[in-house]
Structure 1
Amino acid sequence: MVILGSTGSIGTQALDLVRANPDRFRVVGLTAGGSNKELFEAQVAEFAPKFSGLGEEASAEAAAQPADVVLNGITGAVGLRPTLAALEAGNTLGLANKESLIIGGPLVKRVAREGQIVPVDSEHSAIAQSLRAGSPNEVRKLVLTASGGPFRGRSRDELAQVTPAQALRHPNFAMGRVITTNSATLVNKGLEVIEAHLLFDVPFDRIDVVVHPQQYIHSMVEFTDGAVVAQLGLPTMLVPISMGMAWPERVADAETPIDWTKAADWRFEPLDDGAFPAVRLAREAGTRGGTHPAVYNAANEVCVDAFHDGRIPFTGIVDTIAEVMAAHHGVRSEGSLTIEDVLAADAWAREEAARILETQK
């Protein structure tokens, strides 16, 4: 295995699974962004990989090393080059870095062979597992579940008062700043809708989102006969990470099963598009295609930083994304899209978001 982003949430949990299964997994490559050098050095000392390094270039080089699986646990658009490098090298890609597929969709799909990408997002792993219950032509729709974040049920006016500290209190998961904030705005769910479309070749009008606060049901597939197949489990990432490492096999005791002797109530609620328009905006970006998903993602990353720096309100994140998307016209046909196009759109969106934020001071 090669693990990219080894000091982050995905990477550290993957290494826990390696420790628990030393006869099954061997680490041959480790990379990280560099924010926690002390931990990275300790990981390198423990696992003694053939290749290790810090930064985007090191990750791209590591991804191309001979391996059974490359687990891309990097956060953000910097994961695109490593994703392409892993696929071009013929390695199976365990993909937790959703941004690389979302911003470089046509590029990634052009390079990937069938079955080469194994999703590690809990929702997409759940869908991949559930799809094994039927054939592709029997699928009516995909249903992504969302916790609703820490502000489920609040009005837009109430959301405007949210503080950065409050936005980092996810009800179920402990994650990094960007992903946790994205879960609070539901930008993360919007990105996952685009990801589901690209991974499973299902049109956007057949991908639904339902709020399930408990997050025991990770996602579902509705088949043409009316049957719904879901993958259930505790609200953690251990099962999807282990599936990404061993697909299509399972890793014994990766996670504790649900205790069915305890009573529990599970709720389902419709998504409030008025208070949380991020999913609708993501559908628009995905439907337009080309470089629009890259613009959506890049603008969000800039806005998340601005929010945590105290420069915009919580609602300003998605409002600014919408402004940047409205100003974007540089779409190239997907068949001729290049990595330079994607990175140029990413850079433009960041500059445009910064310009808009500057005018709001």
Structure 2
Amino acid sequence: MKRIVVLGSTGSIGTQTVDVVRQHSDELEIVGLAVNTRVGDMLAQARAHNVRNLAVGDERLADQAIASEVREQAGARGVWGFGMDAVVDLVRLPEADVVVNALVGAAGLRASYETLRAGKVLALANKESLVVGGDLIMPLAARVDAQRRAAGTAPAVGPAGALMPIDSEHGAIYQCLLGESEREVSRLWVTASGGPFRGRKRADLGGITPAQALKHPTWNMGAKISIDSSTLMNKGLEVIEAHHLFNMPYDKISVVVQPQSAIHSMVEFTDGSVKAHLGTTDMRIPIQFALSYPQRWEAPVEPLDFTKLGSLEFAPADTDTFRCLELARHAGGVGGTLPCVMNAANEVAVAAFLAEQGSYLGIAECVEAVIDAHEREGVQKVESLEQLQALDAWARETARKSVR
């Protein structure tokens, strides 16, 4: 039995994780739940799964009536609290084996860091943990891998599994690499659907509204990730993640548009062979593999029917129109603290667009302005969470002045 803490349990990834647990209750048990504001939904999950350890990120809710329901659900044996400290405290629960980090944005970095510091398995859906803090997270993951091998809790063959990616793209690459030597990998292919504006040019995007940008053609995701997918920033973040996760130089990571979203990513080898990971467009598949590794359990969804799939299309990403992809690749290539400020600027610009306070094309313009400002001041080597938090705050303030 694997005992799981789910951070961000009421979001898209979180609710699907809870569903995977429900379908495999003989293998999985939830021991902790955390949300930012949707306390009522979290309480419904806690009651359904008898969870006593609860945390709410928004401290302001501690003074509201629903706080008493959180306390009542926790009871005498549970841990409960409000604020990010309470959320992070859940990852240290002695009974927890795996932490699913489905928090949105840079706030998830601290939770990932403390999960690995506590020696737990990190099932990671929070892109920013690696984009912002990959230089801190990956050495910790290597240390936990070594501890798992020494303790005999790692699989007999394959990766030790301290850090399991939940992104469909990285989960696909992870599986394609099983049993392979990294020395024989010549390229990672990260696939993109192309988003709702595939085929359009920059001149067509001037008046795009949030409602239009949120209509993803194949995936059902949260608002922020949906906007990132439409701008291709999501692919830029995934390229940076892949660099850290798989120790791959940026010139060996390519993005290809695959509109059907049937191929979740591919690995090309030195002999010209290519492994592609195909599957239904349902995030419960990569979530389940992250929790079941090294085993495979019965599929939580209908398998892909190749007789109905039809054709598979491929196209290069249009980085002239969707400039966020190249901005992210540039930030990743420079490295250091530049991805941190790039990510913070993007979060501010996307939030402004969703609030109809900034334009769609202004997202890339805002990100570029903050990147340029940080490069002028001098990119730093990543040294600590505190350093990244300070630069994140600086980048957000700078970005707010650059929203257009």
Q: Work out whether the TM-score is over 0.5.
A: yes
1:58 Cα offset (Å): 2.2
Change (3 A) 1:17 1:154: same
- Could you tell me how far apart the structure 2 residues matched to 1:305 and 1:332 are? 26
Match of 1:3 in 2: 6
Amino acid at match of 1:100: S
Structure number with the bigger relative contact order (C-alpha 8 A, sep ≥ 6) is: 1
Alignment partner for residue 116 of structure 2, among 72, 87, 90? 87
- Could you tell me how far apart the structure 2 residues matched to 1:260 and 1:230 are? 14
Alignment partner for residue 44 of structure 2, among 42, 45, 51? 42
Name segments (4+ residues, structure 1) moved above 3 Å: none
Q: Deviations over 1:14-34 (max 9, x none)?
A: 111111111110111111112
Amino acid at match of 2:194: G
- Could you tell me how far apart the structure 2 residues matched to 1:251 and 1:76 are? 30
Higher mean C-alpha deviation, range 59-68 or range 18-27: 59-68
Q: How does 1:112-151 map to 2 (within 5 A)?
A: 112-113=141-142, 114=145, 115-151=161-197
> Does residue 1:59 correspond to 2:87, yes or no?
yes
Aligned residue for 1:27, secondary structure, equals strand
Match of 2:29 in 1: 26
- Could you tell me how far apart the structure 2 residues matched to 1:100 and 1:3 are? 16
Alignment partner for residue 13 of structure 1, among 8, 13, 16? 16
Q: Deviations over 1:40-60 (max 9, x none)?
A: 111111222242111122221
Q: How does 1:121-200 map to 2 (within 5 A)?
A: 121-200=167-246
Query: Normalising by the residue count of structure 1, what TM-score does the alignment of the two structures yield?
Result: 0.96
Aligned residue for 1:356, secondary structure, equals coil
> 2:337–2:380: 8 Å Cα contact kept in structure 1?
yes
> 1:295–1:325: 8 Å Cα contact kept in structure 2?
yes
Match of 2:66 in 1: none
Amino acid at match of 2:381: S
> 1:185–1:276: 8 Å Cα contact kept in structure 2?
yes
- Could you tell me how far apart the structure 2 residues matched to 1:4 and 1:274 are? 36
Match of 1:276 in 2: 322
> 2:285–2:299: 8 Å Cα contact kept in structure 1?
no
Change (3 A) 1:263 1:149: closer
Amino acid at match of 1:25: L
1:235 Cα offset (Å): 1.3
1:333 Cα offset (Å): 2.1
Aligned residue for 2:30, secondary structure, equals coil
Alignment partner for residue 78 of structure 1, among 101, 107, 130? 107
> 1:291–1:330: 8 Å Cα contact kept in structure 2?
no
- Could you tell me how far apart the structure 1 residues matched to 2:363 and 2:101 are? 26
1:260 Cα offset (Å): 2.5
Aligned residue for 2:241, secondary structure, equals helix
1:82 Cα offset (Å): 0.8
1:330 Cα offset (Å): 4.4
Unaligned runs of 5+ in 2: 58-83, 146-160
- Could you tell me how far apart the structure 1 residues matched to 2:298 and 2:19 are? 13
Alignment partner for residue 333 of structure 1, among 378, 381, 388? 381
Amino acid at match of 1:103: V
1:253 Cα offset (Å): 2.0
Aligned residue for 1:150, secondary structure, equals coil
Aligned residue for 2:255, secondary structure, equals strand
- Could you tell me how far apart the structure 1 residues matched to 2:31 and 2:265 are? 32
> 2:108–2:129: 8 Å Cα contact kept in structure 1?
yes
1:236 Cα offset (Å): 1.5
Alignment partner for residue 68 of structure 1, among 82, 97, 100? 97
> 1:71–1:244: 8 Å Cα contact kept in structure 2?
no
> Does residue 1:313 correspond to 2:315, yes or no?
no
Higher mean C-alpha deviation, range 13-22 or range 205-214: 13-22
Higher mean C-alpha deviation, range 267-276 or range 114-123: 114-123
> 2:46–2:52: 8 Å Cα contact kept in structure 1?
no
Q: Deviations over 1:318-345 (max 9, x none)?
A: 11100110000343224xx111111111
Report the count of equivalent residues. 355
- Could you tell me how far apart the structure 2 residues matched to 1:62 and 1:276 are? 38
Unaligned runs of 5+ in 1: none
1:261 Cα offset (Å): 2.8
Larger Rg belongs to: 2
Amino acid at match of 1:60: V
Amino acid at match of 1:160: G
1:311 Cα offset (Å): 2.4
1:133 Cα offset (Å): 4.6
Q: Percent of counterpart pairs with the same letter?
A: 48
Aligned residue for 1:314, secondary structure, equals coil
Higher mean C-alpha deviation, range 110-119 or range 36-45: 110-119
Match of 1:219 in 2: 265
- Could you tell me how far apart the structure 2 residues matched to 1:263 and 1:128 are? 24
> 1:65–1:89: 8 Å Cα contact kept in structure 2?
no
1:302 Cα offset (Å): 0.5
Change (3 A) 1:84 1:342: same
Q: Deviations over 1:277-329 (max 9, x none)?
A: 11111111111111111111110111011112222221110111001100003
- Could you tell me how far apart the structure 1 residues matched to 2:133 and 2:109 are? 7
